[in-house]
Amino acid sequence: MLRRLRPFAFPALLLAALEWYARGAGQGSDAVAPPTLALRAFVMALLSTGEYSIAQATAFTLGSAGLGLLLGLVLGVGLGVLLGLSRRAAEISFLSVEVLRPIPSVALIPLAMLVFGFGLRMEISIVAFATFWPLLLLTQAAVQQVEPRLLEVASALNLSPLARTTKIVLPAVLPRLFVALRLGVAIALVVAVTVEIAANPSGMGYALMIAQQSLAPELMLAWLFWIGLVGYAINAAALALQRWVAYKMGDVPEGPPP
């Protein structure tokens, strides 16, 4: 029982210290609120059905992050497999990848606003750009490490490129793809909230900005905690999916235990 509670010890101490500070030295501050007041603000926001309700803001952020991640996943994995299997294609695209990859995704906000305007499409495009590059590079590296004998078997069987990819390459790199997917999930949520804070008047990031502009530190802290909980739940779901797939496939190299 104590071992299960051990991971919660440090967060509890941190919350207790913040509560003590906010009710003492930070009392009356526009930037610091006690966690107990943040909890009350969270409950009130949870019961609210207005424009900035938790359900509506969370649904928008998760929807845009999910669609952007899906687009980045399809393009990143597809191109990553191609570059991993073809040395010539990797050499041709090397300069383009290395020039475009370091561009911060948030630097594309002005361009995306010009092309798509405010709203869902603008946010999806930036999330897709941010998740595309790590998925591309991790997939390419995983494909390049596929056992050469497997590719020789595919050649001996005269498999088409599509059959070789779906029957040989993807099953061999699946555990590494899940690592890339978990990284992409985290990036998608971070970028989606950042875009909403900076430019898009929707979602959890915008609700956080409204709380800050309204000088409501308790509500701002409540939104911060909620965003953290949402991120934790998404990562836990991705890890559970990875374990389930590994269990269904049997002995998968580098996969976590079922």
In the three-class reduction of DSSP (H, G, I as helix; E, B as strand; rest coil), residue 77 is classed as: helix
Query: What's the average model confidence in pLDDT over 133-139?
Result: 90
The string of DSSP letters for 97-151 reads HHHHTTS-GGGGHHHHHHHH-SSHHHHHHHHHHHHHHHHHHHHHHHHHTS-HHHH
User: What CATH number did the domain enclosing 108 receive?
Assistant: 1.10.3720.10
Domain count, the chain: 1
In a domain, 230, yes or no: yes
- In the block, tokens 């235990």 appear at 257
- CB burial class (10 A; 0-12, 13-18, 19+) of residue 12? exposed
Assess if residue 93 is contained within a domain: yes
CA-CA distance, 153 to 180, in Å (whole number)? 27
> What does the pLDDT average to over 58-63?
91
Residue 150 forms part of a structural domain? yes
Examine residue 255 and state whether it is found in any structural domain, yes or no: no
Q: 244 vs 77, 78, 129, 132, 251, CA distance in Å?
A: 21, 23, 29, 25, 12
pLDDT in tens, 205-226: 888 888 888 887 888 888 888 9
- Is the CB of residue 58 less than 8 Å from the CB of residue 230? yes
Which has more pLDDT, 197 or 35? 197
Residue 211 domain flag: yes
> What is the per-residue pLDDT for 69?
94
| pLDDT of res. 50 | 63
What's the pLDDT score for residue 248?
66
Within a domain: 241: yes
Q: Is residue 74 part of a domain?
A: yes
Residue type, 203: G
What range defines the domain where residue 176 resides? 53-249
pLDDT, mean of residues 15-30: 68
Q: CA-CA distance, 222 to 49, in Å (whole number)?
A: 17
What phi and psi, each to the nearest 5 degrees, are found at residue 64?
-70, -40
Written as six digits, the tokens of 206 are 């915008």
In a domain, 24, yes or no: no
The answer to which of 71-85, 140-154, 201-215, 240-254 has the lowest mean pLDDT is 240-254
